[in-house]
Structure 1
Amino acid sequence: MQGRPPVPLTRDLVLVGGGHAHALVLRMWGMDPLPGTRVTVINPGPTAPYSGMLPGFVAGHYRRDDLDIDLVRLARFAGARVVLGQCEGIDPAARLIHVPGRPPIGYDLCSVNVGITSTMPALPGFAEHAVPAKPLGPFASRWSAYLAAEGPARVAVIGGGVAGAELILAMAHALKARGRPAELVLVERARALSALGRAAAGPLRAALAAHGVTIREGVEIAAIGPDGLRLADGTRIAADFITGAAGARPYDWIADTGLRLHDGFIAVDEYLQSSDPAIFAAGDCAHLSAAPRPKAGVYAVREAPVLLANLRTRLSETGPLRRYRPQKDYLKLISLGGQSALGEKWGLPFSGPAIWRWKNRIDQRFMDRFRALPAMAPPAPPALRTAGAEELPQKPMCGGCGAKVGRGALRAALAGLPGGLRRDVTPLPGDDAALLHIGGQRQVLTTDHLRAFTEDPVTMTRIAAVHALGDIWAMGATPQAATVTLILPRMSPALQRRSLSEIMTAADAVLRAAGAEIAGGHSSMGEEMTIGFTLTGLLNRAPITLAGGRPGDALVLTKPIGTGVLMAAEMQGAARGAWIAAAFDRMTKPQGDAAQVLANAHAMTDVTGFGLAGHLLNICEASGLAATLELTAVPLLEGALELSRAGHRSTLYDDNKALLPDLPDDPLSALLFDPQTAGGLLAAIPAAEAAETVAALQRAGYAAARIGALSAGPPGIHLT
């Protein structure tokens, strides 16, 4: 009896922003998903910082990584796709979300949790000479560099609220620990610390004074220059590190949504629903119309269960919405620079090292929800199975080239074909493309497809297109025409149209930039997304094949390796999101420019499913030569070696390693057998040209390296 088929996808839920509320929604969704919903999260980067630990990072109590919620890993757990980009607008009428550099993203239901910004565009000179405290990434980089410098420090923080006070106290502590004398000024246009009761404001002012912080309140800033601030009365405040933590400011694009706003923030009702029933909002970007509250992360955390319940209700069209009832006051725990903190609730203050430890426990407990995601039990295998089934690998099958059939099985199948039917078709043994002769024109024909390893069809399409073009570029041809082959998971007609629009727009952009035009295609539905291309390319010269290598040739590789181990680890939640994002950037980088630099190569191939060792072996066998690889010269993707050391391998690894059983299989050597998706070009070029060729590739933006050489001898690979 067949198992029940998966529920077709019928609704798109898009979470704009990776704020605290959305991070919790994703975690809860992963534990209990709603079948039939496709979830997308849009965020500028692969991680989202937890703002509660920012002062501790600035003070030096936490590492930068301690603050980050890994959205890529969290989305994998939730079965969601991640779109890495800054939202620049929502069109409620068309139900489209605009992100630069990609097709618009359609939605049926949308939630916004993008937080606030502390940029100050109206303040002359701020953009040129200051750094906002939010977003955290640029601020953290600038602060780390400033802290590492030598000599006296002059720091100014604009904004005399609790956030500004915490920030400057943390800076004072860090600079003192570095042994740097510091002048620190907290600047506020009104009265500093006005959000606190008098009983709590007094101890915080005392802490600021004890750390040497001068408070300038009731002053207007006229402009910011390279050497500090100029006030409206002409007074100057010297500073060479200036940051802004002055209150909450909404992102500019929110004003253009047409939603009802309050002071620029999205006005929501007691259900966290905006004036458009298809758009919800939570956290600092939302204004609670029924019960206004100050901007504080605690409300976003408390909103998450209500937001999730109401999103599920709207998606399933069942039951009433749930009300959010915010508490009247909340516990404020304010870092005092060192490992001490001030607490305040209902106007009553309390402070000391024990309060900091309490705050640290609360912060760490929140972050632990995302560091250790619950292990969801896989379906139990059938009790009765065909003999031999238990001997096959049971781990999930990799996507991309990791899902391909091994070289041995493929070659054995091809070897049995008779061939010789047509004289205008020239087989090129070992190469992944065929050479056609049409009149006096040479044409290259190739095809490739990939089983998706990311839920984002745009990223997957870009990778698949670059991957398929690799065979054209490797032979020295110019891309000409393409047909597209798609398998989409079962989904409603509306979602089919959205998906096809995203895929075809992305495919056309990559192929058109390479000089090829889409001539048609074929689509069907299946269990999972697969994207493939059949391509032709034109040659005005003899093709560059595997067989042209010469003794003494230098071996040059244009891209780092490690995509297979990274994708395999990502499927298991073991890879950092930043590593995956960097790998996607490498995989989506076209190689047309690299192919032009390598146009005079004697032999060339693209490194894909058989791994670097397997594809180099192809060159050796076709050219009748041996190869020497300088193992430590091979460029690696960030995280690849760390994951290899942890034992992660692609499902195609064993087949690839069997090609060269005498080579070692230590963690670094193992990456030679790692199947690559949209991998680099591997070229054999004259040794005298190697240095300039590598330099030219690097100038063109490739992480290219000289990794070895060809020599006379029986085909094989030796490591040094």
Structure 2
Amino acid sequence: MTPAAPFSRELVLIGGGHTHALVLRNWGMDPVPGARLTLINPGPTAPYSGMLPGHVAGHYDRDELQIDLVRLARFAGARLILGTATGLDRDARTVRVEGRIAPISYDILSIDVGVTSAMPGLPGFASFGVPAKPLDLFADAWARFCDDPPARPDIAVIGGGVAGVELAMAAQHRLTGLGCAPTVTIVERAEALAGLPGKSRARLMETLKTAGITLIEGVGVTELGDDTLRLSDSRRLRSDMTIGAAGARPHDWLADLGLETEAGYLAVDATLRSLTDPAIYAVGDCAHLSHAPRPKAGVFAVRAAPVLAHNLRADLTGGSRRAFAPQGDYLKLISLGRKSALAEKRGIMLSGALMWRWKDRIDRAFMARFTNLRPMPSPPVPLGAAEGVAEQMRGPAPCGACGAKLGRTALQTALGALPTGLRDDVLSRPGDDAAVLKVGGRTLVLTTDHLRAFSPDPGLLARVAAVHAMGDVWAMGARPQAALASVTLPMLAPRMQAAWLAEIMAEAGAIFAAEGVEIVGGHSSQGAELSIGFTLTGLPDGPPVTLASAQDGDALVLTRPLGTGVILAAEMAQAAKGADVATAWAQMSRPQGDVAARIGALAHAMTDVTGFGLAGHLIGICDASALGAEIALADLPVLPGARALLDAHQRASLHAENEAALAGRISGGDGAQKALLFDPQTSGGFLAALPQTDAATVVADLRAAGHAAAIIGRFGKGAPRITLI
């Protein structure tokens, strides 16, 4: 097989706006060999602005509104960094991202971050107002309000442009449908709908009147209170929810980039490149087309996507750029609350249900570009391949992280053949999470672990690998002390090797430093793919906690939800929801030193749940302690989305081997709840045998600290097997 091209160039996209989403789709169908694509966005999804009024009105659910950036990035083969970009170092060509230690390097950069409707200059708005943009934050706030609205809610919309009018009509329709009697008021400091042609403006004003929506023109808002707006004419307006839809403006940090701007928007030329820095592009609402100024509208972002994709490719490959020539006029489709819309272009105006169906068809067709993604087909089987190659290549791609580990049976067989008892300063027992050594009269624990990449993001993998490796030390009741890194990078240009390695060590170093661990060295190499691992020493404060001392009647406590294996496997297959993947990433990246400190001193036996799944690690305690265990399946904490994926027959690579290894040793249970027991976990929680008298208090303390711990069963006398109830 032909090896993959080595990486030589870094292309970074900041923001998951409409233009960038289309560029990612284009890249997935025709990537540039040797160029790594990175998307930086605050969240795992990006809302489509064209459907927001319909969502507010209740015509679309939240999923229909969202472009799943996790799925799109996987389709494109792109690294996705979930975080907010806060600035650039243009000399070093790096991006600062909130929550990341290392900056993100780029050769070519594109910015598509939209605008904000926040009003920092309006007293009280930050505390009591809800900006209509960013759209995802507004949608969250609206969902919370609609979950339990007042019987007679008062809604105020600041801004009488098209956006404010659409939202006012949508809110009035939705709340009426929920059985409320809403009062909706629009406050506009100048003239409402001033930019629309006369016929369209008149029709919208008539629609507002018919809907019973009050419009106050020529009056500004001077202050917001908890449930009150103070107006510039001294009137007070009651409001249970105040929506800011006036004066959408660029994000403040753009003004600090040292790039030429127009009213705060990044000024670009006909090729969409910055007038100041040819390595930087800007598109969408955050950009100002200096060669052809246009109003802020999604249609221009969509039309710019093919030009941006072409020009980025040209910069990466040495080709020629194209100019973007936006149309002079465009179709305006305005939602009217109910399933009715107004359409206007070149002075021709139509409205009604037919226009809504037209708008709905256009919006759904746009979103279908991102929901109907299909994984790229497997490469053909080489001619003359050995028997079994075709079967292996037809199967699902091997998982990353703990889903890629060897099975429990294979590992036990290999380790069982090794000589033991050669040294009296090696105190470990077979199956212990870490080696126990005597060094200079002191007890030391030693462990090693590494992860095959589950994401193309080295920083994310480094953080998870660091937390994961410390799990074995914590599970032995010890404090992590020192770490050696083992890093395999894919084939990269020399300058990229340094940048990738610096990013890995910075992100892992921050995780370790917070737990008092020092990185003291390690080993690096280049290989076919990215993998990161760590060898750690740990210092126990007392006798190490092993698998062998669980007692009859002990409570079985699990400190983290299950499901990382199936979620990571499904993400590779573009079958998991981006929000669920982001939740799993966040859990795997969170250290557990505080959990270990609370639970370790009380545990009779403890292990961390990793590649062999909950059942595989539990049977280790049962065997070592000569006890049986009972699990209440209904009490298992589970990550969002994991059960649904298991019901849909998604499985991690190691799942089947984990299940086969315990054949005949588990009774009861069925379906997704039972399948969770065999799901390989990465950076999983601790599984501990705690005295019944302490378990409930410990779990309550962990939950108060933000850990989803649970009592899931008990140990009892009998054969070492697992019973599910």
Do these two structures clear the TM 0.5 threshold for a shared fold by scoring above it? yes
CA contact (8 A) 2:433 2:476 kept: no
Q: 1:87 deviation in Å?
A: 1.1
Alignment of 1:375-390 (within 5 A): 375-390=375-390
The residue number in structure 2 matching 1:670 is 675
- Structure 1: which amino acid aligns with 2:681? Q
Residue 342 of structure 1: SS of its match in structure 2? strand
Residue 658 of structure 1: SS of its match in structure 2? helix
Is structure 2 residue 178 aligned with structure 1 residue 178?
Answer: yes
Greater Cα offset, 489-498 or 135-144: 135-144
CA contact (8 A) 1:185 1:216 kept: yes
The residue number in structure 2 matching 1:47 is 45
Is structure 2 residue 110 aligned with structure 1 residue 105?
Answer: no
Greater Cα offset, 148-157 or 26-35: 148-157
Is structure 2 residue 645 aligned with structure 1 residue 643?
Answer: yes
In structure 2, the CA distance between the partners of 1:446 and 1:639, relative to structure 1 (3 Å rule), is: same
- Structure 2: which amino acid aligns with 1:712? K
Greater Cα offset, 205-214 or 66-75: 205-214
- Structure 2: which amino acid aligns with 1:358? W
The residue number in structure 1 matching 2:304 is 303
CA contact (8 A) 2:381 2:389 kept: no
The residue number in structure 2 matching 1:716 is 721
TM-score normalized by the length of structure 1? 0.98
CA contact (8 A) 1:553 1:685 kept: yes
Residue 546 of structure 1: SS of its match in structure 2? coil
Q: Distance in 2 between matches of 1:312 and 1:176?
A: 50
The residue number in structure 2 matching 1:604 is 606
- Structure 2: which amino acid aligns with 1:365? A
Q: Distance in 2 between matches of 1:225 and 1:667?
A: 49
Greater Cα offset, 183-192 or 363-372: 183-192
CA contact (8 A) 1:21 1:301 kept: yes
Q: Distance in 2 between matches of 1:183 and 1:585?
A: 41
- Structure 2: which amino acid aligns with 1:248? A
Gapped regions of structure 2 (runs ≥ 5): none
CA contact (8 A) 2:6 2:491 kept: yes
- Structure 2: which amino acid aligns with 1:639? G
Q: What do residues 557-593 of structure 1 show as CA deviations (whole Å, max 9, x unaligned)?
A: 0001111111111111000010000001111111111
Q: Distance in 1 between matches of 2:473 and 2:176?
A: 59
Q: 1:394 deviation in Å?
A: 2.0
Residue 506 of structure 1: SS of its match in structure 2? helix
Q: 1:375 deviation in Å?
A: 4.1
- Give the total of aligned pairs: 717
Greater Cα offset, 158-167 or 235-244: 235-244
CA contact (8 A) 2:131 2:245 kept: yes
The residue number in structure 1 matching 2:689 is 684
Q: 1:138 deviation in Å?
A: 2.8
CA contact (8 A) 2:46 2:136 kept: no
- Structure 2: which amino acid aligns with 1:194? A
Alignment of 1:113-132 (within 5 A): 113-132=112-131
In structure 2, the CA distance between the partners of 1:245 and 1:294, relative to structure 1 (3 Å rule), is: same
CA contact (8 A) 1:583 1:637 kept: yes
Residue 66 of structure 1: SS of its match in structure 2? helix
Q: Distance in 2 between matches of 1:678 and 1:375?
A: 27
The residue number in structure 1 matching 2:88 is 90
Q: 1:391 deviation in Å?
A: 5.4
Q: 1:157 deviation in Å?
A: 0.6
Q: 1:415 deviation in Å?
A: 1.2
Is structure 2 residue 487 aligned with structure 1 residue 486?
Answer: yes
The residue number in structure 2 matching 1:37 is 35
The residue number in structure 1 matching 2:511 is 510
- Structure 2: which amino acid aligns with 1:66? E
- Structure 1: which amino acid aligns with 2:617? H
Q: Distance in 1 between matches of 2:182 and 2:661?
A: 62
- Structure 2: which amino acid aligns with 1:125? G
The residue number in structure 1 matching 2:538 is 537
Q: Distance in 2 between matches of 1:402 and 1:454?
A: 13
Q: Distance in 2 between matches of 1:105 and 1:98?
A: 7
The residue number in structure 2 matching 1:253 is 253
Residue 487 of structure 1: SS of its match in structure 2? strand
Residue 425 of structure 1: SS of its match in structure 2? coil
TM-score normalized by the length of structure 2? 0.97
- Structure 2: which amino acid aligns with 1:328? G
The residue number in structure 2 matching 1:58 is 56
- Structure 2: which amino acid aligns with 1:629? I
Q: Distance in 2 between matches of 1:261 and 1:388?
A: 60
Q: What do residues 245-280 of structure 1 show as CA deviations (whole Å, max 9, x unaligned)?
A: 113200000000000000000000000000200100
Gapped regions of structure 1 (runs ≥ 5): none
Q: 1:506 deviation in Å?
A: 0.7
Alignment of 1:47-446 (within 5 A): 47-102=45-100, 103-147=102-146, 148-274=148-274, 275-318=276-319, 320-390=320-390, 392=392, 394-446=395-447
Q: What do residues 473-509 of structure 1 show as CA deviations (whole Å, max 9, x unaligned)?
A: 0000011100000001101111111111110001111
The residue number in structure 2 matching 1:633 is 635
- Structure 1: which amino acid aligns with 2:132? A
Q: Distance in 1 between matches of 2:509 and 2:264?
A: 38
- Structure 2: which amino acid aligns with 1:132? P
Q: 1:431 deviation in Å?
A: 1.2
Residue 498 of structure 2: SS of its match in structure 1? helix
- Structure 2: which amino acid aligns with 1:41? L
User: What value does the CA root-mean-square deviation take over the aligned residues?
Assistant: 1.2
Greater Cα offset, 58-67 or 356-365: 58-67
The residue number in structure 1 matching 2:526 is 525
Q: Percent of pairs identical after alignment? A: 56
- Structure 1: which amino acid aligns with 2:349? P
